[in-house]
Amino acid sequence: MKIVFISNFLNHHQTPVADELYRRLGDDYRFISTTETPESFLKSGYPDCRAFPYNILAYESEEKRAEAQRFVDEADAVIIGSAPYSWVEKCVEAGKQTFIYSERWFKRVPRNYFSPGLWKSLFKYHFRWSRKPNVSVLCASAFLPKDLDLFGLYKGRRYKWGYFTECPKLDIEPLVAKRDRECIDIFWCARFIDWKRWDLPILLAGHLKRAGYKFRLRMAGMGDDSGKAKHLIGSQEIEDCVDLIGNLPNAEILKKMEESSIFLFTSNRQEGWGAVLNEAMSRGCACVVGDEIGSAPYLIKDGENGFLFKSCNLEDLTEKVRLLLDDAALRKRVSVAAYETMQGEWGPRGAVSRIISLLNKKLFENGICGLLKK
C-alpha cells in the first residue's frame, strides 16, 4: 500500500503521525509540502520540518514537483489537506481512495456564508465529489459534520480525525503531585490576536486575585495585541501574578505545560482544531477549554478529563477554573485522565493503525491488495 499526504507545509503537529506512517510504510509513504513554511512561523518557535526524509518540497523546483506528482500517480490512497484542485481532481477521477482532510468550513458566521471561494468549490467540486464512492472526509473538527449536513455531502463517508501530537510516556502521578503548591501555576499559549481571546485569561486573573486565590498565570506568545494585553494587565492591577513570557520554542512550551496545573484554551469558533490542547493534555494539564474550539468535543469529556466552558463567557470560565483551584483531588484526577486520553485513542500510533485498517478495508473492497510492511 502506498499513501501520500498532501498539505501546505509539514509542521510539528503533523510529524508524529507522519513519522509513524513512515515507520510502518517506509518508502511507500510521502508527505508533499505545496508551499514554503512561513518565516513568521519559524520565528515564533515552530520547528523546521523541511528536511524530514519523507517530505517532498514540491514548491522548490519543477524537478521536485514532478517527483511529487509521480508519488501521487503511484499512490493507492491520497490524504489531502491543502493542494491545488487540479491534483485533487486527478486523484478523484483516477478512482484513488481520496480523503479530504478538513477543519470546519464556517469558522466565521455570517461572513463565510458570503464567501465566493466557498460557494465556487461547493458547486464546482464538492457536490460532484460527494457522489464519488472513492472520496471520503477526515473531519479535523467536531463541527465539520454539521457544515456538511447543510448540503447533504459525503454521507456515510465522514470519519472522526484531527491532529495527533507527540505523546511521551511520563510518570504522570508524581509529576502531577509535584505541582501541588500553595501558589497554583496556570498557563495560556497562543498568538495575541482577537479571536484567540487573550483578554479572557487576564480578566479571569483579575477575578481570581480579588477573590483571594494564590496563583501564577503565564501567557506565552506574541501578536498585534501584545501591547493591549500589557495595558489590560496594568488596568486590572495584576502585574504581580501575570507574566507575559513572549514567544518560546515548542520544546520550552511543552516544558511550561509540564510545570503547570491548569491550561486555559480560550479561542472562539475560529480555532479550527487547536493542537495545543493535545499537547497540554499529553503533559497532564487540567484543561479548561472553550466549547466552540474544533477539537474540544472530540478530546474533552466534560468534568472527567477536562472542563468545557461556554465560548467567550468569562463567568463560566471563572466558575470552571475555581472548581479546579478549590479541589486538589479534582485537579489531579482530571490531569491524569487527560494524560491517559492522549496515551490511548488520541495518540499517533493508534491513529495510524486505524487509518491503515480503514484503507485496507476500502482497498480490499475494490479488489486492491492492502498488505503492509510491519
Query: 17 is written with which cell numbers?
Result: 503521525
133 and 177 housed in the same domain? no
CATH number at residue 189: 3.40.50.2000
What is the spatial distance between Cα 225 and Cα 276, in angstroms, rounded to a whole number?
A: 20
- What pLDDT band is residue 42 in, cutting at 50, 70 and 90? confident
8 and 135 housed in the same domain? yes
275 and 323 housed in the same domain? yes
Structural domain includes residue 95: yes
Pairing outcome for strands 262-265 and 184-189: parallel
Kindly report, residue by residue over 252-302, the tens digit of the pLDDT: 999 999 999 999 999 999 999 999 999 999 999 999 999 999 999 999 999
Closest of 222, 285, 288 to residue 257, by C-alpha: 285
Answer yes or no: are the C-beta atoms of 73 and 30 closer than 8 Å. no
- What pLDDT band is residue 366 in, cutting at 50, 70 and 90? low
Structural domain includes residue 370: no
Range of the domain at 46: 3-164+347-365
Query: 218 is written with which cell numbers?
Result: 503565564
What is the spatial distance between Cα 19 and Cα 352, in angstroms, rounded to a whole number?
A: 10
37 and 181 housed in the same domain? no
205 and 319 housed in the same domain? yes
Does the pLDDT of residue 345 top 80, yes or no?
A: yes
Number of domains in the chain: 2
Does the pLDDT of residue 368 top 80, yes or no?
A: no
192 and 266 housed in the same domain? yes
249 and 358 housed in the same domain? no
Indicate the SS3 state at residue 307: strand
Structural domain includes residue 20: yes
- For 33-37, what is the mean pLDDT? 94
Does the pLDDT of residue 166 top 60, yes or no?
A: yes
Structural domain includes residue 155: yes
- What pLDDT band is residue 367 in, cutting at 50, 70 and 90? low
158 and 9 housed in the same domain? yes
Structural domain includes residue 372: no
Q: Report the pLDDT value the prediction gives residue 352, as an integer from 0 to 100.
A: 95
- What pLDDT band is residue 358 in, cutting at 50, 70 and 90? very high
Angle made by CA atoms 218, 224, 229, in degrees to the nearest 5: 40
CATH number at residue 25: 3.40.50
- For 236-247, what is the mean pLDDT? 97
Structural domain includes residue 45: yes
Q: Report the pLDDT value the prediction gives residue 32, as an integer from 0 to 100.
A: 97
Angle made by CA atoms 316, 321, 323, in degrees to the nearest 5: 100
120 and 263 housed in the same domain? no
Q: Within 13 Å, how many C-alpha atoms sit on residue 254's CB side?
A: 18
pTM: 0.92
Each residue of 245-269: b (16+ CB within 10 Å) or e? eebbebeebbebbbebbbbbbbbbb
